[in-house]
Amino acid sequence: MSNYRLVLGLEIHFHVKTTRKMFCGCSADIYEADPNTHTCPTCLGLPGALPVPNLEAIKKVQLLGLALNCELNKTSLFDRKHYFYPDLPKGYQISQYKYPLCKEGFLELASGKKIEIDRIHMEEDTAKSFHEGQYTLLDFNKSGMPLGELVTKPVITSTDEAVEFSKKMQELIKLLGVGDADMEKGQLRLEANISLRTPEMEEQRRLPDYKVEIKNINSFKFMENAVTAEMIRQQELLEKGERVVQENRGYDEATKTTVPQREKEEAHDYRYFPEPDIPPMLFSEEYVTELKKQIPELPEQIERRLVRTYSLTSKQATFFAHASNVDLLHKLESFIEANIDPQEAAKNLINRPETRELSANEFSQKLKAQEARITDESVLTPYVQEVIDEYGEVVVDYRNGKENSIEFLVGMVMRKTKGKADAEVSRKLLKSML
């Protein structure tokens, strides 16, 4: 790709975790429900049904925006975005256009590069289509689900950056409690706007006059493959002197190529206008101040603190800053408060899952027991040899392929040393001597 440079912008859709849908009272607990059991006149788009915004969803999207260094619009509007598709019963989607909830933020990557965020807005999700033969079946449980959309500026220049940004976003959404961000359930969906430009255009910060959007990306590996395939396709066209058509495309895993879907719409194609049934939302400075107080310690802050304060390695700190490991972070800090060495606590919690259920006192006792263990191979070797000599039948079993036999021999070494031998060192010695 030496003649061209990737320029990419991401659109990330995420379900906001709430008890009810975005504009009606239907339960948002739809993921195990039978089709079309969580519906009402509003989310079915029936005449006369009026939308009522979900404040819980709005607050959660604003919280995410603040965590991403965004400015909150003090006046924010809902708009109607018009297009016709079977899963959109009203013929329009309630979304946001000129005045989104959040604007102008950034997220910093491990390299220090800041990926600029253009906006984060709130909208409603559509129904789900199932294609069977010549028929399309619709499940309206998903229709009206609260959906946030984050749009980056076109500043991403590699697939690695795109994947890292998306993973960090998934982590942040989970950590803040904004959503579960489960990609298999469609709670986090990625779309990539891809263009290529020459090195000269990059130096001049000039964007190409087209972009191709890859839709329905449902995994990070899928995105990496799809973006790479589209880059190759665009380069081949440009090198032939042909024009790249601005359009939406999908990725075909079987052929490792992108395939056309439809021409990409511009904003005017959607005929946006303010949603007449929802008045403007006005947010005071006091409201924003109270919202900021709800932001917890963020992953990058956790990592820096653990490295700076407790001298953990960067890899260890990243492990404890992971959203799914928040309970382990609390356990680590409880061990440190009990005067347990931070490195020992971190190493054991990461590598020995059995220590995660221990109290600080129990963990201290376990560490003392570990310190009393025999780890010196020269000390253990005579005991290992005795076991090999005494249990010839088990040795034969091991050499004949019964690998589990090694655990019996390890146990016999432990018995001879009255439980002081280190099991891992004993196992390693036995395997090498056999």
- Confidence band, pLDDT 50/70/90 cuts, at residue 268: confident
Q: Would you say residue 3 has pLDDT above 90? A: no
Q: Using CA of residue 322, residue 326, residue 330, residue 331, what is the dihedral sign?
A: negative
Mean pLDDT of 26-37: 95
Nearest-angstrom CA–CA distance, 270 and 49: 22
Mean pLDDT of 381-393: 91
Fold of 377-433: Arc Repressor Mutant, subunit A (1.10.10)
The confidence score (pLDDT) of residue 267 equals: 65
Q: What is the pTM of this model?
A: 0.81
Count CB atoms within 10 A of the CB of residue 289: 9
Per-residue pLDDT tens for 335-362? 999 999 999 899 999 998 888 999 999 8
Contacts of 78 (CB under 8 A, 6+ apart): 53, 94, 95, 96, 122, 274, 275, 278, 281
The confidence score (pLDDT) of residue 37 equals: 97
Q: Domain coordinates of the chain in residue numbers? A: 5-292, 299-371, 377-433
What value does the mean pLDDT of the chain take? 92
Query: Pairing state of beta strands 273-274 and 79-82?
Result: antiparallel
Percent of the chain scoring above 70 in pLDDT:
98
Residue entry with tokens 């005045």 = 99
Percent of the chain scoring above 90 in pLDDT:
74
